[in-house]
Structure 1
Amino acid sequence: MMLTGMIMVLLSGGFLSWVLAKWNPAASRWTALFAVLIDFIISCYLWFQFREPVAGGATWLLDYQSTWIPSFGIGFHLAMDGLSLVLLMLTFFLGILAVLCSWNEVRERPGFFYFNLLCTLAGISGVFVAMDLFLFYFFWEVMLVPMYFLISIWGDANRRYAAYKFFIFTQTGGLLMLLAILAVYFIHGHQTGVYTFDYFSLLDTVIEPSAGRWIFFGFLFAFAIKLPVVPFHNWLPDAHSEAPTAGSLLLAGLLLKTGAYGIMRFVLPLFPEIAATIAWWAILLGVIGIIYGALLAFGQTDFKRLIAYTSVSHMGFVLLGIFSFTEIGMQGAVMQMLTHGISTGALFVLAGMLKERLHTRDIEKMGGLWTAMPLMGGVALL
């Protein structure tokens, strides 16, 4: 129930913020902050509770399951292991920063802004704990739609183009993933007579290699677009540069991590043999992303686009670690996800502060900042 409660706190807080904004915008901000802060405190409590190995060597720290749509084999199944826990902590920590950095930035329709912000956080949290593939897809869509509104309403001048591009890319991947989920669902039902979307049941599904490759790539393309992997990265710089500061923070710090998480949680366990056969191709794409993203970052004069291209480079390291098929490689990928989320999120907050003070993101017009703002320069260097 604790996992369900954390998601409900965000959804309730978002709705309450939207309602309160009609009478008191300040109350809307405090409500959003309080909701995310509650979840962060709960996640820290869980961290201290489960920092020692669980008795009996159990993998899952929390597990909650109930029926949802039993006629279609859809259940409300949430579970948390160590990977989910650290990503939840990152989600709520960056969520607090997102609320704070938008405190004075968002003046237009603040209630609806915080509603979309908290719904995005709720969707991301659900993605990290959903153990029913239909529920996973549901949360996947929940986090995308409000992010579209965050970009298209509160973004910069070219926000609508960036929002459409983000939506088309991610929805294309989402539709491919939905088809892949349905394929696994029907194959499992045909084999066992039990039609279910439960993750643990579907792990035992035997899929013919010819069909398995198509299903595998359906999942992989969806997660590769979100990671993003070159050449599916084209949506990222526009979305980052046009999104409000809080939107860029969530995009870089959290949404990209859902792609890596999806590969770790679903692609490798469901299709281990196929994943092993294409591992070197994935590693090659990771290396290309590292080099290509860095080269493009060197050529940018827009501060936010520079950070966006460095994210492409950093996520290449994550892809390398995942498809190394080694324990230390997987641990390195998770560590890179966490450090990238914090450092890049901080850089986007810094970019937002500079834009607010200088009214530009052009690096060529920011000369002499170290003398005028030594503290901000030190933070950027850190």
Structure 2
Amino acid sequence: MFPWLTAALVLPLVGAAVVALLPKGRTDAAKAVALAFSLAVLGLVVAMSLTFDVPAAGEYQFAEEVSWIPQLGVTYALAVDGIALSMVALTAVLVPVCLLASWRELGPAAAGQVDRGFLALVLVLEALVIGVFAARDLFLFYVFFEVMLVPMYFLIGRYGGPRRREAATTFLVYSLAGGLVMLAAVIGTYVVGPGGADGFLLANLTNLEVSTETGRWLFLGLFVAFAVKAPLWPVHTWLPDAAAQAPPGAAVLLVGVLDKVGTFGMLTILLPLFPEASVWAAPVVVVLALVSILYGAFVALAQRDVLRLIAWTSISHFGFIVLGIFAFTTAGQSGAALYQVNHGFSTAALFLVAGMLATRRGSSLIADFGGGQRVMPLLAGAFLVAGLSSLALPGLSSFVSEFLVLVGTFERYQWAAVIATGGIILAALYILWTYQRMMTGTTVPALAALESDPRRDMRGREAFVVAPLLAVIIALGFYPKPVLDILTPAVDRTMEQTGMTDPAPLFEAEGADQ
């Protein structure tokens, strides 16, 4: 059988090496090579997806297993179910989009070596993120989980804004601290597991018979690491600076893909490994998710920088994802899994359009805009559509996932679902108010001065980047069934592994048998 997942890992690494070895000054060649390799990865993932058995999406497919370090029980094991495949596909789509979006926005000093470094780091990051989504060995998952921090650290710290070093350092410190706790939990899980040459295989560790106290401590170790990555309140504070200081393309990968590793780990690793502890901790996690939803939304309302605002909205959205996961209902977890995909596209569109606006204005402060829709109607329209998706407007992708999360939560925690709906109201406020301040009213002089510039609005390359994202947002808003068909069987398996079933309906239909 063809090693689809290994090929998807190796191909971007080869591309990164080729880009890095190109002679200095070959900037155009480096861009073309990086884009070609990212498109090749996308083609590979599309081909793999076409051979994926959708009715069996709850089972792991394209499995590869090779003994790696048998003395430590480590296996090179890769496979994907419906949830993992959706995240691999999201990564493969967003990387070429981000490369195209960064074609000329690599910073004022971008030239030669700088460009090559940026492009090579993006490809390395792609390989590592695909690896973490496909890993079916707990130790291998941990390796990818930690190593993927390195390229993102340099993408922020070398190519970001004026406070890039502080933001990159904070990102790394938080992530390494969470990773250290995770390492202790990974070792502890191996110790209580069956051991042997395949002792870290997730298939051998699922539903371990451990004492209640041990299972809960190991759950907490993994949960802390995933909560930092998600990011979930109160370990979220690294994200706003990191996202605002990163180049727009890197910010898309950070918030749209990298942070999903946290919620992905909760849904596909944490719950199956420690079902009793997951159910035990669920009420507390639900409260943390609600705080993230409301706190992230309130703070977003107070932001003066549009990039920081988008970062804070993501904290609120990740709260919805975590809420759906720990609702322990089919609707809630299906909505959470779909939300991971939808949030990736809507946030990507928001960050990229905001980056284009900031490049033209020379500022990302909301107050420095005003009347933008008269000068840049296409950019203003794209910003509005992406923003409306972010606030979960019916007909756009996020609505379906957010609705499923709320319905699934209401089935088990009615009070939590009622509170979470406040996040929807706040989302409407911060998105529409931001659009009003930036795009309507009297055009500020700095923007009015751009009216004679033919490059003031979205151009060909930029439209080619943004249009597919908006098309996906609209398509999944009207017809999410193909993605849900892939996700729901995997969610059903997780529900079965945790021993949870959907609650009985709150209200019996009139005339139903009692």
- Bin the TM-score by the shorter chain: over 0.9
- RMSD over aligned Cα atoms: 1.4
User: In 1, are the aligned partners of 2:75 and 2:198 still within 8 Å (CA)?
Assistant: no
Letter in 2 for 1:320: L
User: In 2, are the aligned partners of 1:188 and 1:194 still within 8 Å (CA)?
Assistant: no
Consecutive unaligned residues in structure 1, runs of 5 or more: none
TM-score (norm 1): 0.96
Larger radius of gyration: 2
Equivalent residue, structure 2, for 1:280: 283
Which residue of 165, 168, 184 corresponds with 1:163? 168
Query: Offset at 1:195?
Result: 6.4
Equivalent residue, structure 1, for 2:37: 35
Which residue of 336, 341, 359 corresponds with 1:333? 336
Query: Offset at 1:66?
Result: 0.7
Structure 1 CA distance for aligned equivalents of residues 92 and 136 of structure 2: 20
Structure 1 CA distance for aligned equivalents of residues 97 and 53 of structure 2: 25
Letter in 2 for 1:71: Q
Letter in 2 for 1:152: G
Equivalent residue, structure 1, for 2:79: 79
Query: Offset at 1:334?
Result: 1.1
Letter in 1 for 2:99: V
Consecutive unaligned residues in structure 2, runs of 5 or more: 386-514
Equivalent residue, structure 2, for 1:322: 325
Q: Secondary structure at the match of 1:325?
A: coil
Q: Percent identity?
A: 39
Letter in 2 for 1:137: Y
Query: Offset at 1:353?
Result: 0.6
Q: Report the CA distance shift for 1:218/1:381 in structure 2 as closer, same or farther (over 3 A).
A: same
1:215-240 Cα offsets, whole Å, 9 max, x none, are: 11110000001111111110000001
Structure 2 CA distance for aligned equivalents of residues 51 and 376 of structure 1: 39
Letter in 2 for 1:59: E
TM-score (norm 2): 0.72
Equivalent residue, structure 2, for 1:130: 135
Q: Secondary structure at the match of 2:259?
A: helix
Instruction: Kindly tell me the number of residue pairs found equivalent between the two proteins.
Output: 378
Say if 2:60 is the partner of 1:60: yes
Which residue of 355, 360, 379 corresponds with 1:357? 360
1:102-157 Cα offsets, whole Å, 9 max, x none, are: 11112241111112111111111001000111111111122111100001100110
Q: Secondary structure at the match of 1:231?
A: coil
Structure 2 CA distance for aligned equivalents of residues 271 and 312 of structure 1: 25
Letter in 2 for 1:183: G
User: In 2, are the aligned partners of 1:21 and 1:111 still within 8 Å (CA)?
Assistant: no
Alignment of 1:1-382 (within 5 A): 1-20=3-22, 22=24, 24-50=26-52, 52-54=54-56, 59-106=59-106, 107-108=110-111, 109-189=114-194, 196-382=199-385
More RCO (CA 8 Å, sep 6+): 2
Query: Offset at 1:205?
Result: 2.8
Structure 2 CA distance for aligned equivalents of residues 58 and 270 of structure 1: 16
Structure 2 CA distance for aligned equivalents of residues 353 and 127 of structure 1: 31
* Larger displacement relative to structure 2 (110-119 or 362-371): 110-119
Structure 2 CA distance for aligned equivalents of residues 349 and 296 of structure 1: 22
User: In 2, are the aligned partners of 1:186 and 1:195 still within 8 Å (CA)?
Assistant: no
Q: Secondary structure at the match of 1:278?
A: helix
1:147-186 Cα offsets, whole Å, 9 max, x none, are: 0000110011000000000000011111111110001111
